[in-house]
Structure 1
Amino acid sequence: MAGILAWFWNERFWLPHNVTWADLKNTDEATFPQAEDLYLACPLAFCIFMIRLVFERWVRLNQVAGMVLLYSTMLYKSHPDEKRLEGLSKQLDWDVRTIQRWFRQRRNQEKPSTLARFCESMWRLTFYLYIFTYGVRFLKKTPWLWNTKECWYNYPYQPLTVDIHYYYILELSFYLSVLFSRFTDIKRKDFLIMFLHHVATISLIVFSYVNNMARVGTLVMCLHDAADILIEAAKMANYAKCQMLCNLLFAMFAILFISFRLGVYPIWILNTTLFESWEIVGPYPSWWVFNLLLLLLQLLHSFWSYLIVKTACRAISKGKVGRWNPLHVSKDDRSDIESSSDEDESFPSNQKHHTSSTNGTNKNGANKNGTNGYLTGASYPDEH
């Protein structure tokens, strides 16, 4: 085990030339990042996960979200065919719509409710808003926010401040808790790519802390938190059926996401980690790995930006911008839960059979408002 640890913490990999771990030991005059500091993130990640459970439970019990939520109207693709519905209608002496509603409610029993998804987005919005506010207040007092070359002057002998330590531990703890909760949260179609995103994020946080690239790391974290606030707010407006607000928030999110992650990120962050650091410090093995992870993050940014632009172009080409729901995806995309416009009615029993079996849809399977698909959470990044 000692041999494995010695190989893993090889100074020639982690640190620039002529620098050793002994040079970065804490002294009375200065404190430097230590790998063992990150152990604190594990129990804190568990605490954050428990706080999230209590937070979401409190929201549900107090019906903060329940007062504004209505279930969505959608057509479920696995409903019984018309012939089967008519047979059941005669057998049970129920009208077709009642039977369709029963099957729909039966399918939804094991699906997460809209309130559950609302609470999940509210939790993320609360954290992102807090951590982004903290990051902005902290960074505006630092010299490296205004001149990124300050990230590399006197590197790696840059002292660790309390603000940087707190910022790093809290971000790492949150993403560890999110990584674990991916297996218990609402399952979505982008599970694998979001899992990869979280692994890359955690790796970047650990890498930048251990080899004391913490200054540029704070810039990366703050830049990514900004857009995440808006997408979670857009989801909440979507679940609450506030469509105009949802459209506005999503448009703001799209502009901020694309400009920050395809513009500011490569020009500001990648420029300093690839070129300014090369000029001031020079490359070494962990420097290459760190930049490789940053470039992987840029690939994910490009993929999500493509999805955002594709969604917007589809709405514009169909001339449905005025009633466009940006979080409304096609039948081929993920669907969390289904409902109907009359689902809030009391469930009737022993109804007489009626001839109507359309349940508010036209012959093409679209509902009356002209949409065709399911209202779901966005398929776009909700974390870094």
Structure 2
Amino acid sequence: MTSSFLAWFWSESFWLPENASWAQLEHPPPGVEYPRVGEILYALPLAVVVFVLRLLFERLVAKPCAHILQIQAGVHRQAQPNAVLERVYQSKTSPEAKQLDGLSKQLDWDVRKIQRWFRVRRNQDKPSLQTKFCESMWRLTFYLGIFTYAVHHLWVSPWTWNTRLCWDNYPFQHQSPQQFNHYVAELAFYWSLMFSQFTDIKRKDFFIMLVHHLATIVLITFSYANNMLRVGTLVMCVHDASDIFLEAAKLANYAKYQRLCDGLFVVFSISFFIARLVIFPFWLIHSVLIESWEISGPYQSWWLFSGLLLVLQTLHIIWFYLIARIAIKAIFKGKVEKDDRSDIESSSDDDIHSNNSKHPSKTSGTTTNINGENHDH
């Protein structure tokens, strides 16, 4: 049963052009290396190493930086111990009005007091600015490092400047050590995100990001298996470019450097537009849809990958619309504010009134999202 499934799943007629077979890719000519599917499994143990490195980096590098910038861990106000409310909280962190009325009668508490208890209890589970700072600093370090490495080897690659060469003699193209390292590093990073997804800051888009990371892993793995390394490394490099400025803007936001945050977010918006709405569609998608069709012709998995790239481009357009709204506000109103997915909620209406009195510039009804994730390879 297993062998039949694997034979069907790895069908050559689906994954490879008509002139190619798995046997040919497994036995390259002397001095030539082709990708082997088994080699990509190195990313799994490396993902554990990446996860451990992240923990060390956050403790030994990011946290001291946070202390220098006076970003403290902070201690949230503790909710009054209550076994009944705690059981409800474990199943639903924001009870509906009908459930609140029932709890009010059961405990002989005012509904407003119960609502306040749930707000305080939710805040206990919220991460501190220091935790978010350390997470973003790790991501910035990775994106900056992998982007620099990618540019270093892609700059001297002829297919970077002539994308038709991405399909020259495809799929029988030599795999360089730099391409292998790039792929394995990106895949290990996203596997580590899968591990840490359950320990990182919990946001409202938890399941969306979980599916996104899984889809990214699938795309990287299968593009490696059928030797789309040339265009694959270009796609990953283009996406990493703008993420650098996003994470930098987050760090400035957590450190309360508002002008720097606004400036970096505007730069992020511009880089996002250039990388994902200009270079990606008119350079890379054009190469996949037009140049590969002309040179190697379409095959079954070609339709799958092309469709996924077009879906991704659609998401880019939607995301850029949302990003542009924030950037315009930063330019004309001079502020990019907090993350509406993960910032601390006010523990009472009195706290809200107090905070707004101290910071009248932050009383607008709409909160702009700077800390939204954009890891959309």
Q: Shorter-chain TM-score: which interval?
A: 0.7 to 0.9
Cα shift at 1:198: 2.0
CA distance in 2, matches of 1:118, 1:185: 12
How big is each residue's C-alpha offset from its partner over 1:157-179, in whole Å with a ceiling of 9 and x where there is no partner?
10111111111111111111112
| 2:67 aligned counterpart, secondary structure | coil
Unaligned runs of 5+ in 1: 79-101, 341-354
Query: Are 2:201 and 2:342, in contact at CA under 8 Å, matched by a contact in 1?
Result: no
Q: TM-score, normalised by structure 1?
A: 0.79
Partner of 1:19: 20
Cα shift at 1:69: 3.8
Instruction: Give the residue type in structure 1 aligned to 2:146.
Output: I
How big is each residue's C-alpha offset from its partner over 1:122-163, in whole Å with a ceiling of 9 and x where there is no partner?
000000000000000100111100100000011111011111
CA distance in 2, matches of 1:152, 1:368: 58
Instruction: Give the residue type in structure 1 aligned to 2:15.
Output: W
CA distance in 2, matches of 1:45, 1:356: 42
Q: CA, structure 1 residues 56+143, in 2 after alignment: closer, same or farther (shift >3 Å)?
A: same
CA distance in 2, matches of 1:111, 1:231: 22
Cα shift at 1:19: 1.6
Q: Which has the higher contact order (CA 8 A, sep 6+)?
A: 1
Aligned match of 2:201 in 169, 186, 198?
186
Q: CA, structure 1 residues 50+339, in 2 after alignment: closer, same or farther (shift >3 Å)?
A: farther
Partner of 1:379: 372
Instruction: Give the residue type in structure 1 aligned to 2:50.
Output: I
Partner of 2:306: 291
Partner of 2:32: 30
Aligned match of 2:338 in 328, 336, 342?
328
**Is residue 359 of structure 1 aligned with residue 367 of structure 2?**
no
Instruction: Give the residue type in structure 2 aligned to 1:166.
Output: N
Instruction: Give the residue type in structure 2 aligned to 1:222.
Output: C
Q: CA, structure 1 residues 50+376, in 2 after alignment: closer, same or farther (shift >3 Å)?
A: farther
Number of aligned residues? 332
Partner of 1:84: none
Query: Are 1:204 and 1:294, in contact at CA under 8 Å, matched by a contact in 2?
Result: no
1:305-320 equivalences under 5 Å are 305-313=320-328, 315=329
Q: TM-score, normalised by structure 2?
A: 0.80
Instruction: Give the residue type in structure 1 aligned to 2:257.
Output: C
Q: CA, structure 1 residues 57+190, in 2 after alignment: closer, same or farther (shift >3 Å)?
A: same
Q: CA, structure 1 residues 209+10, in 2 after alignment: closer, same or farther (shift >3 Å)?
A: same
Partner of 1:347: none
CA distance in 2, matches of 1:16, 1:183: 39
Q: CA, structure 1 residues 368+22, in 2 after alignment: closer, same or farther (shift >3 Å)?
A: same
Partner of 1:159: 174
How big is each residue's C-alpha offset from its partner over 1:273-295, in whole Å with a ceiling of 9 and x where there is no partner?
01100000001111111112212
| 1:169 aligned counterpart, secondary structure | helix
Partner of 1:198: 213
Identity value in percent: 51
Larger helix proportion, structure 1 or 2? 2
Cα shift at 1:338: 4.7
1:210-359 equivalences under 5 Å are 210-313=225-328, 315=329, 321-325=332-336, 327-328=337-338, 333-338=340-345, 358-359=353-354
CA distance in 2, matches of 1:311, 1:134: 31
1:141-180 equivalences under 5 Å are 141-180=156-195
Q: CA, structure 1 residues 142+361, in 2 after alignment: closer, same or farther (shift >3 Å)?
A: closer
Aligned match of 1:369 in 340, 361, 371?
361
Q: CA, structure 1 residues 155+107, in 2 after alignment: closer, same or farther (shift >3 Å)?
A: closer
| 2:294 aligned counterpart, secondary structure | helix
| 2:68 aligned counterpart, secondary structure | coil
Runs of 4 or more above 3 Å deviation: 69-72, 102-109, 355-358, 372-377
| 1:312 aligned counterpart, secondary structure | helix
Partner of 1:136: 151
Query: Are 1:32 and 1:160, in contact at CA under 8 Å, matched by a contact in 2?
Result: yes
Query: Are 1:307 and 1:380, in contact at CA under 8 Å, matched by a contact in 2?
Result: no
Please tell me the root mean square deviation across aligned C-alpha atoms, in Å.
2.9
**Is residue 47 of structure 1 aligned with residue 42 of structure 2?**
no
CA distance in 1, matches of 2:375, 2:262: 17
CA distance in 2, matches of 1:8, 1:218: 25
Unaligned runs of 5+ in 2: 78-93, 95-116
